[in-house]
Amino acid sequence: MNHILETIFAQFDTGAFFRRARPLGQGHINDTFLVEVHNEHHAGFVLQRINHFVFRDIPALTENKVRASQHLLGRLAAEGVVDIKRRVLQFLPATTGLYYHRDVQGNYWNLSRFIPDAMAYEKVESPSIAFEGGRAIGAFQRRLAGLAPESLHDTIPHFHDVAHRLDRFHKVAEADVLLRANSTRLEIEAILAREEEMRTFMALVFSGAIPRRVTHNDTKISNVLFSREGSALCMIDLDTVMPGIALSDFGDAIRSGANPAREDEPDLGKVDMDIGMFTAFAEGYLSEARSFLTSSELEYLAFGAKLITYEQFLRFLMDYLEGDVYYQKIQHEEHNLQRARAQLKLLESMEAQFGQMCEVVHALATTG
């Protein structure tokens, strides 16, 4: 593998010499490697093979990432932020001048600078990490607010469109190609029981009552990079940066960060939403986002957590019914069902605490 990675790395315009590479992170979709080089003044590079079955248009994806990161760089400079190179991902062009390389097998690759002395959390360990994570997402959205959503491509059409996913879900459950619908009857019913609530919200998005913005769209807590001292540096994994809604970014951070258990936790007794973590996230997020969110976005902010958790439950369940065609990185046959069940349990926990979640947001939005 190292030899292949060396060949790919050489296609990029870095001026650095490949030493070795190792896998980085735990993404479900792409394959990511840290490349160490012989040149001491380079901290290294992150080489990523983009899954082109998920992302059908890599040039468009790359354009989005580069445009967003260059815009962020400009904003950071204008704000006089120090240590700017650690505050935003920087992509490098290939020798062709394009910001991606297509190899002989038809795989697509991106390269960015590695940010040293930084770390990502799979789990949030304290309210201060939750606050910082929320703040990073709010700042990311705030700095991108000057970029018109229309200037970015919709690289995965209907990505957070739960109504569209529900339309597909009905077809998939009906077809039941692997005869898995019978054993997942309870989960399918749990989807249907909430369908109207979710579609009602999506109608607000389609009507424009909830505005479209440039958003990250994959804000799990492991996509926030922190300094070793625990302050948030920047958002990583910019593949899904495109037009979206602010509250799904907030929601995905809660889904991934306010649950003390893993996304695929088999022991459902461990899964729940920690209201203290929710509060810390909301405080951090609103310290940045209060300045630009509309009153309807604030009204539905807590709902964003339910929305994204429901969506993730739907996606894992649907993929299980379809035969693990999207989330192919599974460790056993029932893995996507296990993931779906953990997400449903988390959703139920949010539902039980929803009144409190709304009160927290309301208090922060009005007093802040």
What string of DSSP letters covers 346-365?
A: HHHHHHHTHHHHHHHHHHHH
Contacts 24+ apart (CB under 8 A), 351-359: 351/306, 353/273, 353/275, 353/278, 354/302, 354/306, 356/275, 357/275, 357/278, 357/302, 357/305, 358/302
Q: Which does 54 bind (CB under 5 to 8 A by kind): Mg ion, ligand GN1, none?
A: ligand GN1
Q: Which stretch binds Mg ion (CB under 5 A): 67-75, 140-148, 230-238, 280-288?
A: 230-238
In this chain, which of 63, 132, 187, 237 binds Mg ion, going by CB under 5 A? 237
64 vs 240 by CB, closer to ligand GN1: 240
- Give the interface with ligand GN1 as residue ranges (CB under 6 A): 27-29, 54, 218, 220, 237, 240, 263, 312
Q: CB of residue 40 vs Mg ion: minimum separation in angstroms?
A: 31
Amino acid present at 26:
Q
C-alpha to C-alpha distance for 172 and 322, rounded to whole angstroms: 7
C-alpha to C-alpha distance for 306 and 287, rounded to whole angstroms: 22
The tokens for 298 are 């604030």
Q: CB of residue 54 vs ligand GN1: minimum separation in angstroms?
A: 5
C-alpha to C-alpha distance for 206 and 215, rounded to whole angstroms: 16
C-alpha to C-alpha distance for 346 and 163, rounded to whole angstroms: 21
Scored b (16 or more CB within 10 A) or e, 171-195 reads: ebbeeeeeebbeebeebbebbeebb
218 vs 322 by CB, closer to Mg ion: 218
Q: CB of residue 314 vs ligand GN1: minimum separation in angstroms?
A: 11
Q: CB of residue 140 vs Mg ion: minimum separation in angstroms?
A: 14
In this chain, which of 218, 265, 297, 299 binds Mg ion, going by CB under 5 A? 218
C-alpha to C-alpha distance for 68 and 269, rounded to whole angstroms: 40
Q: Which does 274 bind (CB under 5 to 8 A by kind): ligand GN1, Mg ion, none?
A: none
Q: Which does 28 bind (CB under 5 to 8 A by kind): ligand GN1, Mg ion, none?
A: ligand GN1
143 vs 165 by CB, closer to ligand GN1: 165
Q: CB of residue 355 vs ligand GN1: minimum separation in angstroms?
A: 26
42 vs 52 by CB, closer to ligand GN1: 52
Q: CB of residue 274 vs ligand GN1: minimum separation in angstroms?
A: 19
Q: Does 274 bind Mg ion (CB under 5 A)?
A: no
198 vs 365 by CB, closer to ligand GN1: 198
Q: CB of residue 140 vs ligand GN1: minimum separation in angstroms?
A: 16
Q: Which stretch binds Mg ion (CB under 5 A): 44-52, 67-75, 92-100, 216-224?
A: 216-224
C-alpha to C-alpha distance for 357 and 285, rounded to whole angstroms: 14
- Report the candidate in 58, 67, 47, 68 with the shortest Cα–Cα distance to residue 112: 47
Torsion of CA 262, 193, 322, 26, to 10 degrees: -20
2 vs 328 by CB, closer to ligand GN1: 328
